[in-house]
Amino acid sequence: MASWAAAGSRPPPPSPCTTRPAAPAWAWWPTAGRPRPAPRCAPPTRLSAAGGGSRPSDPWDYTGPTWIMQERSSLLRKWYDLMIQNKDDLAKIITAESGKPLKEAQGEILYSALFLEWFSEEARRIYGDVICMPAKEKRALVLKQPVGVAAVITPWNFPSAMITRKVGAALAAGCTVVVKPAEDTPFSALALAELANQAGIPPGVYNVVPCSRKKAKEVGEALCTDLLVSKISFTGSTATGKMLLHHAANSVKRVSMELGGHAPFIVFDSANVDQAVAGAMASKFRNSGQTCVCSNRFLVQKGIHDSFVKKFAEAMKTYLHVGNGFEERTTQGPLINEKAVEKVEKQVSDAVSKGATVVTGGKRHQLGKNFFEPTLLSNVTQDMLCSHEETFGPLAPVIKFDTEEEAVAIANAADVGLAGYFYSQDPAQIWRVAEKLEVGMVGVNEGLISTVECPFGGVKQSGLGREGSKYGIDEYLELKYVCLGGL
């Protein structure tokens, strides 16, 4: 059984669409029944208060007999099956508490579930090595063992997928986990916990600690400094990641982080304009621009610039419809809160004051304080805030450039390097630019790059480690060298 504890007493967080409290998770749960309510307790000062209490015990953490791995694999597969069975209700929870359009929320649930399926299979493939030794009477083994208790801190923009991508790998490796979900989206995490219960995940293996925004820093610090925690996995801002690294350093914990991005989207003269516009739409406006890998800076070569801007504006006006996430026509929901809107507003105002042109959008939407019009800016320069500060909103600033070297230099000027995109029909240019971009992931003539099978992560100040793929489970495993003598 999974468990959860509440750090601090509080009402449900407000829905971004209405600013009224979001319905609790079980309001969308007509078939599963109302889950056990979370007990109220003080912010945890030890892991035991957070619901975990100890390092994993046999058989969960044992990587020896095949049947143990098969058991973990089977439980993860059951969890996956339950997510698929309840996909519509899970999607409604995401839309209710984050404002994400329902179709996108449904897509997130399927994407989330695939991580459980993937790692249910990887749980059976934790292989070690036999190493040849220089002395004939010796043999060497390399074992892979779980790191122990993993603290998982997740964001609000993908409240389901960011949990399963981390927790699936951790449980497959044999770790137990304590999840601190984002303050804005706790119900998605609790709904997953209910399904983990139903799947038969053992007591103390999967634990959830929701908390208020006021207590978030305290809870995060407690998890990072608790000596029972061996591993920290965090997705969020670079600034917060640095603070967590500082706290984790005192006990030298294993840390993996997926932090901020400021993705360049480069369109070269050789590109297919229509293809580039379609990629820009997909990359920029998914979840209203509130993704860490979405394009933030559109660098367009001068020969194709005017055509791209015109067609991009037309596509935005035609296909982007702002509204409540539950309305079928909606493709752009609200931003997560008014603070997020103010950031977009500030970047637009700064750019216009320095000479940028508003091609379309540019202001708050009439629907309410958390809505902002999808906005396209041209004549953007590198001294503007939107050129060097991640937006996390529906703003597309276009910078004109002359040469390939100039575009790569602008793209690599950021302190972060999560994802990058470019469009070109020149094979030699494709190889050159793909190798030169200082990012962890590159989309070539493609605006959507996230997939379960491929490693997700960045370079520079965009984080440490990789998630998903066959490499994701390694973040939760330790190597142990065993030397056998006298043979």
Given the residues 97, 108, 258, 404, select the one marked as catalytic. 258
Residue 141, H or E segment? strand 139-146
User: Which H helix or E strand runs over 131?
Assistant: strand 129-131
Residue 483 annotated in active site: no
**The residue type at 259:** L
**Residue tagged active-site, from 224, 292, 294, 386:** 292
> Cα–Cα distances in Å, from 21 out to 12, 98, 105?
5, 11, 19
Question: Which H or E element spans position 256?
Answer: strand 254-258
Question: In whole angstroms, what is the distance from residue 241 CA to residue 256 CA?
Answer: 10
Strand partners, 475: none
Neighbouring C-beta atoms of residue 165, cutoff 10 Å: 28
From CA 406, how far away is CA 425, in angstroms rounded?
18
292 is catalytic: yes
Cα(154)–Cα(139) distance, rounded to whole angstroms?
42
Q: 440: number of CA atoms within 13 Å, CB side?
A: 27
The span from the CA of 267 to the CA of 289, in Å, is: 19
Listed residue (190, 199, 191) closest to 171, CA to CA: 199
- Residue (of 175, 189, 165) closest to 145 by Cα position: 175
Distant-in-sequence, close-in-space partners of 239: CB < 8 Å, separation ≥ 6: none
User: 339-344 contacts: CB < 8 A, separation 24 or more?
Assistant: 340/290, 340/370, 340/392, 340/393, 341/369, 341/370, 341/371, 341/372, 341/393, 343/391, 343/392, 343/393, 344/372, 344/375, 344/391, 344/393, 344/394, 344/395
Give the gyration radius of the chain's Cα atoms: 23
Catalytic residue positions, numbered: 258, 292
